[in-house]
Amino acid sequence: MSSLHPVLSLLRQEVLKLPIGEGFSVTGLNLASALLSLLATRFILNLGDKRRRAAYLRMCCSEARLRRSEKDHHAVFKHFSSSQHLTVDTFAYYPVSYFLGLPAKKGKDVVAALAQRIAAVSWRVEGKETCNAVTEELYNEAFEAPTPTKGVLRGVPITVKDCIGVAGCVQTGGLACRANKVYDDDCALVATLREAGAVVLARGNVGQCMMLPESKNNVWGETKNPWNLGRSPGGSSGGEAALVSSGCVPLGIGSDVGGSIRIPAAFCGVYGFKPTPGRVSKKGCMAPRFKDRNGMGLVIPATPGPISRDVDGCKLFCEAVWSKGHFDKDTTIVPKLWDGEEYEKGGKLKLAYFKTDGWFEPCSASARALDETVSALKKAGHTVEEISFPGNGWDTYALYVAVAASEGNMRNFSEGLEGETLIDEYKALYAAANLPNFLRPIVTRVIDKRRAALVGGGRSGGLTAYELQQLMADVVAMRSKWSELYDKLGVDAILHPALPLPAMKLGISGD
């Protein structure tokens, strides 16, 4: 509005000059003409502001990519090229345990070979289509640092999701407006992992705003599934899953609120674990919202967690993080230490499983995966009982949509983008969020039931405080229902399909 002040002052002066007195008044025509001039001027100025903002955001993206392409990795690539025994396959697909406590020379070889593999698999191959999983590379930093010999993760090479703070890197969350701020310090989680001996090699790509089961944004582009480059690796931790799945690292660090670790792990055929929220620190990690303000994170909280080539990688992550050193860095997380004795004691498990929540029937591949898992567990001597989904999947989905969209019109997304355009995959969601409320009952009657639940779950203009409080009460009631079910069944875990769909074709999540 500051750019309009001269125009407003001029308009005021011209109106005051008009002869208002006997036989004359400011006519409606004069006033209408003045207002139209003001509106036209404001439109032109706003359009200019938007264009300048768009140009600035494109520049931020270009500069971020330029910083990445110009970064010096000479030492590590020279070590690789001068070695007669190293190839990009030398340490690919090794289990996490292999990398623990390697001698210093072997540790340098690991960094060099995996750095070359990440560069080749991810994006640094001219004229070759790759999975494009990496946002930033830290090869030289890892190569020049002493090989860790102490700690739970001593010497294990890892990658870290773009939104999790790493010193010397940006945290974009897929937002162009965040591409020009480089952070000086590690977040609490990465600091803890380094203290445990982890070696950070690179950063994995995410989806714009981190709320889609794909990993595409205007800063780093679109990540593809290494098993099939025409399909998605999932999201929003798709970069980590692609890097682990393609043998670039044995362990990636992602985050999850509504499936952002679990979906990529399922799509890429690796292991993912979402810890209970409040067990792993998010201190120093960005939120893809304006000024990192995400109040709904209290209702449906996100949490960092591991994506690994094997279960042992997830276990070592938890052992490293559930430690006094980590708890000392963030007093808001639950200080319950890793219990190795409990983990190792073994014994037969009592398990339950359900095949569908009634909202989205699993495809044949997802159903088969569950059936094979149940069969293997029974064969191993564990007790496995089939149960019905505790509730109604339609109600669960409606509640998730209503809470996530409670501000109305995707306002938190729009403000967080700071002038950037939403990618195409959000268009249907944005249209549903901005549909006038009087049209919602009509539209829900003429579209399919699943899309109708999406349209009916939101409200243009947002919910009242009372309505949001009622939704929060519904969330608490749902958690209680699940807790009561566990107590009633006396089970150690409940199994179900990871997702009702296989890895999706690129770009169709918006459908």
The catalytic residues are: 161, 236, 260
Bond before 236 cis per omega within 30 degrees: yes
Of the candidates 188, 226, 185, which has an alpha carbon nearest to the alpha carbon of residue 204? 226
Length of the chain: 511
> What secondary structure does DSSP assign to 59-82, as a single string?
HHHHHHHHHHHH---HHHHHHHHH
Q: What is the largest CA-CA distance in the chain?
A: 102
Backbone CA torsion sign across 151, 155, 160, 165? positive
CA distance 276 to 496: 18
How far from 87 is each of 76, 179, 298, CA to CA, in Å? 13, 33, 47
DSSP assignment, residue 433? H
Pairing relationship of beta strands 350-353 and 383-386 according to DSSP bridges:
parallel
CA distance 476 to 244: 35
Backbone φ, ψ for residue 500 (5° rounding): -75, -5
CA distance 130 to 225: 9
DSSP E strand stretches across 332-452:
350-353, 383-386
Per-residue burial over 447-474, b = 16 or more CB atoms within 10 Å of its CB, e = otherwise: eeeeebbbbbbbbeebbeeeebeebbeb
Which tokens go with 326?
């980590």
DSSP E strand stretches across 282-413:
303-308, 350-353, 383-386
The helix/strand/coil state of 199 is strand
In contact, 155 and 108? CB cutoff 8 Å: no
First to last CA, the chain: 38
- Residue type present at position 283: K
In contact, 121 and 246? CB cutoff 8 Å: yes
